[in-house]
């Protein structure tokens, strides 16, 4: 089954640009994580941000790690990707269905999920030097998930000391060290 990601990509891009424009006009951000649910039916987005003031308030004992872990950040923006969620819900009706007798994803389900990750990442990469340029750290993120899309997004969206610090948490092989 061929899945069309065009509407999802357009919705995500519009939502991302509107959110970044709105949030950066009122706050100096250090980090922006696009939080994605871990399961196939939870792959719509939430924006999670860490501004410079909040970054300074992180526990000194853990700040070098916490600044890269969106679960530790306080600003969650549930409505930032509303049209993306609507587009995703429409796509979900065409997604490969899970096998109720298995806890493993099928190849078709993994292909669908990777298409979602790739769609979100490609949009973020296309705006890294423009709309996202004022935000030092950006990534795709999922809680308690060791899938390689997180490490891949860290590598593709960050550079220099930020990349070096984040790679200590999100190893090159895609498995989380945390």
Flag whether pLDDT at 56 surpasses 60. yes
Q: How many CB atoms lie within 10 A of CB 50?
A: 27
**Cα angle value 169/172/175 (rounded, 5°):** 60
- CB of 95 closer than 8 Å to CB of 40: yes
Average pLDDT of the chain to the nearest whole number? 90
Query: Above pLDDT 90, what percent of the chain?
Result: 67
pLDDT digits (tens, 9 = 90+) for 32-46: 999 998 888 888 899
Residue 16: burial class (beta carbons within 10 Å; 0-12, 13-18, 19+): buried
Q: How many residues does the chain have?
A: 178
Average pLDDT of span 68-87: 95
How much is the pLDDT for 173? Answer: 46
Question: What pTM was estimated for this model as a whole?
Answer: 0.90
pLDDT digits (tens, 9 = 90+) for 106-126: 899 999 999 999 999 999 999
pLDDT digits (tens, 9 = 90+) for 5-55: 999 999 999 999 999 999 999 999 999 999 998 888 888 899 999 999 999
How much is the pLDDT for 172? Answer: 52
Flag whether pLDDT at 98 surpasses 70. yes
How much is the pLDDT for 63? Answer: 80
Concatenated DSSP letters for 12-37?
HHHHHHHHHHHHHTT--EEEEEEEE-
Tokens found for residue 125: 């990469």
The band of 1, judged by pLDDT with boundaries at 50, 70 and 90, is low
- Three-class SS state of 56: helix
Average pLDDT of span 61-73: 89
How much is the pLDDT for 73? Answer: 94
Cα distance between residue 37 and residue 57, in whole Å: 27
Number of H helices, E strands in the chain: 7, 4
Tokens found for residue 78: 């549930």
How far is the first Cα of the chain from the last one, in angstroms, to the nearest whole number?
36
- CB of 55 closer than 8 Å to CB of 30: yes
């Amino acid at each position: 089954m061929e899945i069309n990601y065009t509407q999802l990509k357009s919705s995500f891009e519009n939502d991302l640009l509107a959110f970044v424009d709105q949030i950066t006009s009122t706050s100096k951000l250090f980090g922006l994580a696009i939080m994605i649910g871990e399961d196939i039916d939870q792959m719509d987005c939430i924006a999670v941000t860490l501004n410079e003031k909040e970054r300074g308030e992180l526990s000194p004992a853990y700040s070098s790690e916490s600044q890269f872990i969106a679960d530790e950040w306080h600003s969650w923006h549930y409505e930032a990707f509303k049209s993306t969620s609507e587009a995703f819900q429409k796509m979900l009706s065409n997604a490969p269905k899970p096998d109720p007798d298995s806890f493993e994803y099928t190849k078709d389900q993994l292909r669908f999920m990777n298409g979602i990750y790739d769609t979100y990442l490609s949009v973020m990469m296309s705006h890294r030097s423009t709309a996202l340029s004022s935000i030092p750290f950006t990534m795709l993120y999922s809680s308690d998930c060791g899938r390689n899309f997180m490490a891949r997004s860290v590598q593709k969206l960050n550079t220099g000391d930020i990349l070096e610090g984040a790679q200590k948490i999100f190893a090159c092989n895609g498995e989380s060290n945390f």
